[in-house]
Each structure stands twice: as C-alpha cells, then as structure tokens.
Structure 1
Amino acid sequence: MLRVHFTPDDLARVRVAPGPDFLWEISNSVQTLQRRDGEREFGAWRRWARPRLSASPRLLSRLLPPRGYSPDFLTPTTGDRGSLQASVDVLLSTPRRRLRAELERLAPPVRLPGWLGELAGGDAEALRELGGALHTYQREALAPHWRRVHADIDADRALRLRSLLDGGTEALLAGLGPQFRWRAPVLEAAYPVDQDLWLRGRGLVLQPSFFCWPTPATLADGELPPVLVHPIHHTPDWCAPARGTRPAPGPLGPLLGHTRAGVLRATRTGCSTLEAARLLGVTHPAVSQHLNVLREAGLVTTVRRAGRSFHVATAEGRALLAVEDPPAG
C-alpha cells in the first residue's frame, strides 16, 4: 500500500497536471506492453504494437521491468517537459552519481553488463542511445495514438477539476478511483510495495496517465518533487483509430450521426471545441456546428470564459451516453 501524508499546506498545493507527460506515458506503456493483464484496455494495442517495434526501443524494457522498481531518472519532475525533446534533454542531464545509484538499485553492480554499465557511468554514447530509443519508441508505439491519449487525459483532467470545484481538494482526492481511499490526512492507494510519501508542505502533482496500469505510480525517492500518477478511464475500442478507421460508431451513430455522436461522447466529462476536434480528427467549424445542434436539443451546455468555450453533457446527454456505455455512464 502507498500512503501519501498531507499537511494543511499540502492540501492547498495539490494540482492536476496540464496534460500527458511524455516520459511517464513511455515508461508506463513499456511496462504495460510486457504484461498480460488489462486485456480489455490494452490487448488490441499490444497486438498492434509488438510487431512494429524495432530493436532499439526494446532495450527500454531492461530499464522498465513490468513489475517492481524502475529508475526515477526516467521520469523527471523538474525542468522543461513541454515537448518530448525537452523532456529527454532533462533526463539526459541527470548527474552521473544519481544514474549509478538508481541503476545499481535496479540491478546490483555485478549485474550491470554492457550497455547498462556504460549508462550508469554516464557514457555519452550510451546516453545518446537511450535518447534515441525514447524517441523511436514514441514514434513507433505511441505517436499514432497520441491524439486519443491526449483527449482521454484531457477528459480525466476535466473530471478532476469538476470534483475540485464541487467539493474542494478532499473531494478531488476521494474521487480518484477505486484504487484510492482518502482517510484525512492520508491518501491510501493500492500499490505493489509498502511505501510512505511525506509531502511536508511541498504539495502534490496529480498526473493522469493513459498507460498507467493497474495501480498508481510514484517516485521511489521521497525527496524528489512529489507526483502521483494514476490510471484513467479508457474509451471503448480506443486503439481502432490507429488502424486508420474512425472511432467505433456505437449505437448512437445511426441515431445522431457518427461524428455528432462522437462530439457528444467527448462532452461526457467536459471538453473545449479544440479538444473535441483533435479527438475526432475533424475541423473546428464542423465541431461547432454539431455542438450547436446538441445544445439546441438540450444534450450539451456551454460555458464561455476568457475567450474559450467549454462544453459539458447535460443530465439528458449523459443518460443517452449511459445507454451506449453503461460502465462510463
């Protein structure tokens, strides 16, 4: 079990990450790719991804076993991480002492053969190979699905922020999912090892992750800036768009039209017009037209603030969606 200990100052400094973290998604997906559970969520993606991977990204599995410890330096929590390249640059600037300490924790010194030993010593060529493997893996395994990853994390983020607005920080923590239990001032979470994370006024970043499975994740070193990575709900058949097809139409498609039904699905937990367009792969004006129809039918409501429109399914809209997808409804 993981126990996250809050002070009053920490409760005031909880925030939800602004979007997917490139290196957390890479790390979590490498681990998920090696597992066999989560067939409903990841089975189709595993069957799609495994034949595509070149030899280079496969070395990442040596750093990221499917269970147990993985080095913290692979998922930095400081520095510029607004792009994959910026994130990799932060990772590759890890001090040599930390590289060696974390890699020796992964495998004792006598078991650091070849490339791992060179990486632990900060060898420039080994670091370049690691950076190249991260870029290649992202391109081969994740980039074709990145629109879906981003959209589902946007939806989860909207859900968390709604919980925060409705019930404050404690409601946000209590509603993270079935793996969590809020027993003030401690957040308990299902976890493969027994670990305590003392925040001590530093606050906590909640990082939704598409590929985090089946339990939350955090850093092994409690002195690093605190982050709690948690699984999100996955839309049905999310892997389908990577094969060049539209999202699965579902029973609402014949009733509303497939694109309009997709727009309604996007508003289940709230989205902007741009987010819906990105999710569905259609133009901004087309999404606006569909939203106008849904709004006039009483299925969607729109809030406008600071030049942005945020669309949320009404109770009637959510009831319609619940017929199509009972677990999400």
Structure 2
Amino acid sequence: MNNSNYSKAFENRTVLVTGAEGFIGSHLVDLLVEAGAHVRAFTHYKPYAEKGFLAAYQEHPQVTLLTGDIRDSGCVLDAVEGTSHVFHLAALIGIPYSYTAPEAYVQTNVTGTHNVLMACRRFNSRMIHTSTSEVYGTARYAPIDEVHPLQPQSPYSASKIAADMLVQSYWNSFEAEVAICRPFNTFGPRQSARAIIPSVLQQLHGGAKEIRLGSLTPTRDFTFATDTARGFMAIGASRETNGQVLNLGTGNEIAIGALVEKLIEVSGSNARILVEEARIRPEKSEVHRLISDNTEVRRLTGWEPQVTLSEGLQLTSDWIKDNLSAANTSSYAT
C-alpha cells in the first residue's frame, strides 16, 4: 500500500487522535487533515487553554479540539463515539520521572489505555495504540523484531508493556479491531527538550561551548516525525494489521556520542562533548542498544521511511534555531 493509498483511506472519515497536541500527535493531525479526514484532537485539559501546536486549528473546518483526560472513562466515551479510527497517543512519557512517580504512569498509561479500549469496543472504532521501543529493553539480539522479549527496565516501560498486553487481550478475547504501533526513537520539529536531540540543539543554538552527556555508547534508531506519523496512518489503513504489533524504525542505529557530533556539525557549532558520571543511568536500567527490524510493517503496509537521519537533523536544527522559545516541555503527550 503506497502513501497515496493509505492517505485516501481517511478521506471524509471521522478519526480521533488522543495526545493530539504532542510531538508526534500534532504531526499526525497535520497529515490526517491533508488526507481529508475530520479530526477530533483530544488534548489534556489545562486551565489556561493553551493549544500549543494545534493553535492553527482552532477555527479549522476539519478539526474539532476536545479537552479532557484519558483517565476519565466518560470523557473518553464521548470522544470516541462516531469515529472510524482512534489513534491513541496520549501517555505519560519520559523515563526519569517514572522513577519518581510510577503510580502516575500506571493511572495514565494503563488505566487510560483501558478506557480507550472499552470505548472503541463499544462503538466499533478501530484502535491504533502507541507502544514504544523501550519495552524491549537492552537488545538481546539485533535488529529487534516484534517477538523480541519484553524487558521492563523502568516503570515507564513497564506501564507501556502492561498497556500493550491489554490491547492484545482485546484482540484475543473480543476480536476488537486493534493494532499496536511500536515506534523507535522519533525526532523532529516540535519535540520536547526532554529528548536528547532537541535538548542538545537548544544548547548549541543558545551558544553552549560544552555539551554534557552520560554514556556515549548506547545506540538508538531514529525516525523523523513525519515518517512516524505516516507509519501510524499506514497501520490504521490496513486491516491486515489487526491484532499485530508493528515496529516503526529505520533499521539503522547510531551511538549517542556520534549523534551529538552530527548535531554539533549541522548547527555550525564548535562545542565539545563532556561525559559526566552523574548523568549515566543505573546499569540495569540503561538500554544499551535499540535498532528495529521493520520487515513486518513494510510487508503489511508498504510503509518505509523517507527522510534520512542527516536530512532530519538539519531540518530539526533549523526549526529549533528559529523557535528557541517554542519547546513543548509537557510530558503528557506523545
């Protein structure tokens, strides 16, 4: 299925995106609108009514902005009713905070996901659930395919494993139309400075001469944001993905040290890297290697990444240079 085909699958459809104001969610909203969908953009309620990256859609005829909380089942039911597809991206993300507040991750990522599942089952909506490559932990073999053992190396990854299992149980028990999208590390414009790429680029464009890091050797598989968003749409458009867990990644890896060297280059900086022991994760919690095997998603949907790492890093660097004060620091979105 090529890009145009899975875009056409959403024309004139009413779809819900939870976590719509977040990094990946907002890019997904953009692509769904381009595809002709009527999008319900579900965002976490904030008393100051800031719409962030969805501000341009406040008067848009194809977009309805909804506020609420996925931990509230009634709120979720109202949002899901009448939709053909639900892209569930809302989550409490970030590994470090999960050590401090693990219960909050269970409430949002597990109970919240169950609320979405129940609503989708009730209204026969197709659910595309967001997992994470963190559920694999440190690779026992590479590249990592979807049958790789799951290893909860943080409360965050444990909560996502639990949510994934709930989604699969609804397929096995009720034949609910569900699919699990498991992105590896996504990057690009709009990403919170919690993540390494925007964090380093903000420092570089702010004039930093030293970049302080933890371990330089862990590797990651980075996918550009629009490619990840297209992957969600490809999975949602194909019923062959029902009941499946599908990796979204490029199949290429880069060590953190080498990545930061690239960031220094694309930003035009002459900063140097310093390693700080205090920034190194506990050994049993560190994920040393993540690289995806994306064979299944390619086979079932025809999806493949279109933006190279170098192209994506340059685009991201340029965006951050122009938007130094626009970083979204919220952790309640994907």
Same fold (TM over 0.5): no
Q: TM-score scaled to structure 1, two decimals? A: 0.29
Larger Rg: 1
